[in-house]
Structures are given as C-alpha cells and as structure tokens.
Amino acid sequence: MTTETHPRAIKVDKSSLLDLKSACDDALKEYLETKGGYKQSHKHTDIKLVLGYLGCAFAAAGSYYGYIHPFELPATKFWTGVSVVLYYLFNVLMMAYAYLVEKNTIFTGYKSTPHGTQTISVGSSVKSYNPYYDIDLHMGISGASSSSAGTSKTTIKGKKSTHQQFSTAFQYWFDEDGVLAQEQFEADIAKFLANTEATHIE
C-alpha cells in the first residue's frame, strides 16, 4: 500500500532499522515542537558540550606546556600527566552522562498549560533485529494552579510525573516505499501523549 507523498515526506531505506528510528525520532521531535507546543530544552546537549570542550581545553593547555618546556624536566612530565588525566576524566564524565543520565532521550521540553508547567522527556530505542519503535515517555507537571469558581477544574499542587512505554511496529507507519505516513504517525503520537497525560489527572 502506498500513501500519497506530500511535499515534505520523509523517505528512508526501510531495511535499515537505524534509518527508520532516525526518521521517527526527527518526526517525533518536529511534532512535539509544532503541534505539541513544546519548547525544546537543550540541557543534555549543553552539558555534554561543556564537559567535552573542557576536556579538550585541558588537553590543549597541557600540550602547549609540553611543547614549550623540555620533556626531561620533572615539572613538564608532571603537568603533561595532569593534562592527560584531566582529558580522560572529562571524556569519561561525558560518556557517563550520556549513558547514565541522557540514556536514550531524544527530546526534552516544557510548555505552560493552565494546569501548570508541563515537562516532557521522550526516549526512543529499537531492539536488535526487532522492527519495533519503543518509546519511553516521561511527562511531568509542576506548579500550583487554582480551579475557577464554579467549574470542576483540576488542581495540581507540587509536582507530579508519570512514565509510560509504547511499542509500535514500524510497519504501521511506513509504506512499502519507505515513506513515513505523517498523519498516521502523528495521530498515534497524540494518542500516546494523551494516554500518558491522563494518568496525571486522577
């Protein structure tokens, strides 16, 4: 079954799970920013950039010091050693951050709603040789809001967060040419978001 290609259709090699995942990641991020109304938070990227560049700065400084001072002096050897250790330390910290904190996150963001500030963190993964797109959806809502007199509006105080996981076969979103069915994808994502949001409000 082929879908009609609209001007900004995403087409991928459907035999590559990596390409399929990347296409879904990009479409998901775009959906959240446009129709979802979320503002993207670049915290993870920024922290990794800082750690990485700091490590490179120490490496560069140590290299320069080693270049202008003769190697035989104990001071040179010491500071060269320090810069090597610091470089690898920041390298490890950066990798640790990616592995432990960021994990499979592809989008974090926030938006203001009448109920408070809603935060979202979406992680995506694909298991080896398993053509399913696994979504890890973390949503949170924080801030107090009041209910208007007379109407039964929900009151949230403090912070609440929920976590849901969804797994969809790629076959539901990609046709035989590898074109992503935009409407179907967005409809399903909207469903996942609503499902997770609903668990906030008891």
Partner 1 sequence: MNLRQVLTNSLNVLMMLFGVFMSYKAWGLYTNCESPLVVVLSESMEPAFARGDILFLSNPKKPIDIGEICVFKIPGRDIPIVHRVIDRHDSPKTGSQLLLTKGDNNNVDDRGIYQELYHNRGKMWIEPKDIVGRVQGFLPYLGMFTIFMTDYPLLKYALLGGVGLVVFLYE
List the one residue out of 144, 145, 142, 117 whose CA is nearest residue 39: 117
How far apart, in whole angstroms, are the C-alpha atoms of residue 57 and residue 65? Answer: 12
How crowded is residue 10: how many other Cβ atoms within 10 Å of its Cβ? 19
Which residues, other chains included, contact 136 with Cβ-Cβ below 8 Å and sequence gap of 6+?
Answer: 104, 122, 123, 124, 125, 163, 165
Q: Does 60 bind partner 1 (CB under 8 A)?
A: yes
Tell how strand 116-125 and strand 132-142 pair up: antiparallel
Query: Among residues 83, 108, 121, 196, which is the contact residue for partner 1, using CB under 8 A?
Result: 83
Looking at residue 68, the DSSP 8-state letter turns out to be H
Q: Which of 48, 111 has the CB closer to partner 1?
A: 48
Q: Which stretch binds partner 1 (CB under 8 A): 57-65, 99-107, 177-185, 193-201?
A: 57-65
Q: Does 72 bind partner 1 (CB under 8 A)?
A: yes
Number of residues that bind partner 1 (CB under 8 A): 24
Query: Among residues 27, 47, 61, 84, which is the contact residue for partner 1, using CB under 8 A?
Result: 84
Cβ contact 11:178 at 8 Å: yes
Q: Does 88 bind partner 1 (CB under 8 A)?
A: yes
Q: Does 59 bind partner 1 (CB under 8 A)?
A: yes
Q: Does 53 bind partner 1 (CB under 8 A)?
A: yes
Q: Does 52 bind partner 1 (CB under 8 A)?
A: yes
Binding site for partner 1 (CB under 8 A): 42, 45-46, 48-49, 52-53, 55-56, 59-60, 62-63, 66, 71-72, 77, 80-81, 83-84, 87-88, 91
